Amino acid sequence: MSTPESQARAAVDAAWRIESPRLIAGLVRIVNDIGFAEEVAQDALVAALEQWPVSGVPRNPGAWLMTVAKRRLIDVLRRRNTFDDKLALLIRDLEMDSAAESVADGDPDRIEDDLLRLIFVSCHPVLSPDARVAMTLRLIGGLSTDEIARAFLVPEPTVAKRIVRAKKAIADAGVPFEVPDGPDRAERLESVLEVIYLVFNEGYSATAGDDWMRPELCAEALRLGRILTRLVPNDPEVHGLVALMEIQASRSAARSDETGAPVRLLDQDRSRWNHLLIRRGMAALARAQELGGGDRPYALQAAIAAEHGRARRAEDTDWVRIAALYERLAAESGSPVVELNRAVALSMAYGPQAGLDLVDQITDDPALQGYHLVPSVRGDLLWKLGRTDEARAEFERAAAMTRNAAEQQLLLDRAAAAQQ
In the chain the domains, ranked by start, together with CATH numbers, are 4-96 (1.10.1740), 370-420 (no CATH)
Strands 403-404 and 208-209: parallel
CA–CA separation, 115 and 121 (whole Å) = 10
Instruction: Classify residue 236 by burial, with Cβ atoms within 10 Å: 0-12, 13-18, 19+.
Output: buried
Q: 303 pLDDT exceeds 80? A: yes
CA–CA separation, 8 and 238 (whole Å) = 39
Confidence at residue 235, expressed as pLDDT on a 0 to 100 scale: 94
Residues 6 or more apart in contact with residue 314 via CB below 8 angstroms: 265, 266, 267, 268, 270
Pick the closest to residue 184 from 112, 121, 113 (CA basis): 121
Q: Work out the pLDDT band at 107, boundaries 50, 70, 90.
A: very low
Confidence at residue 210, expressed as pLDDT on a 0 to 100 scale: 67
CA–CA separation, 123 and 353 (whole Å) = 43
Confidence at residue 84, expressed as pLDDT on a 0 to 100 scale: 57
CA–CA separation, 382 and 10 (whole Å) = 42
CA–CA separation, 290 and 348 (whole Å) = 30
133 or 100, which is more confident: 133
pLDDT digits (tens, 9 = 90+) for 328-385: 999 999 999 999 999 999 999 999 999 999 999 999 999 999 999 999 999 999 999 9
Instruction: Classify residue 344 by burial, with Cβ atoms within 10 Å: 0-12, 13-18, 19+.
Output: buried
Confidence at residue 100, expressed as pLDDT on a 0 to 100 scale: 40
CA–CA separation, 322 and 345 (whole Å) = 6
Burial call 66-85: b when 16+ CB within 10 Å, e when fewer: bbbbbbbbeeebeeeeeeee
Q: Are 202 and 244 in contact (CB under 8 A)?
A: no
pLDDT digits (tens, 9 = 90+) for 175-186: 888 888 888 888
Give me the mean pLDDT over the 27-47 stretch.
88
Percent of the chain with pLDDT over 90: 48
pLDDT digits (tens, 9 = 90+) for 218-233: 888 898 899 889 888 9
The phi, psi pair for 209, rounded to 5°, reads 100, -175
Least confident of 113-117, 155-159, 286-290, 363-367: 113-117
Percent of the chain with pLDDT over 70: 90
Give me the mean pLDDT over the 169-173 stretch.
90
- For residue 115, give the amino acid letter: L
For the ranges 51-55, 113-117, 175-179, 334-338, the maximum mean pLDDT occurs at 334-338
Confidence at residue 315, expressed as pLDDT on a 0 to 100 scale: 95
Confidence at residue 382, expressed as pLDDT on a 0 to 100 scale: 97
CA distances from 47 to 22, 36, 50, 361 (A): 18, 17, 5, 54
Q: 70 pLDDT exceeds 80? A: yes
Q: Work out the pLDDT band at 110, boundaries 50, 70, 90.
A: very low
Average pLDDT over the chain, rounded to whole? Answer: 87
Is the pTM higher than 0.85? The answer reads no
Confidence at residue 304, expressed as pLDDT on a 0 to 100 scale: 98
Q: 319 pLDDT exceeds 90? A: yes
Q: Work out the pLDDT band at 117, boundaries 50, 70, 90.
A: confident
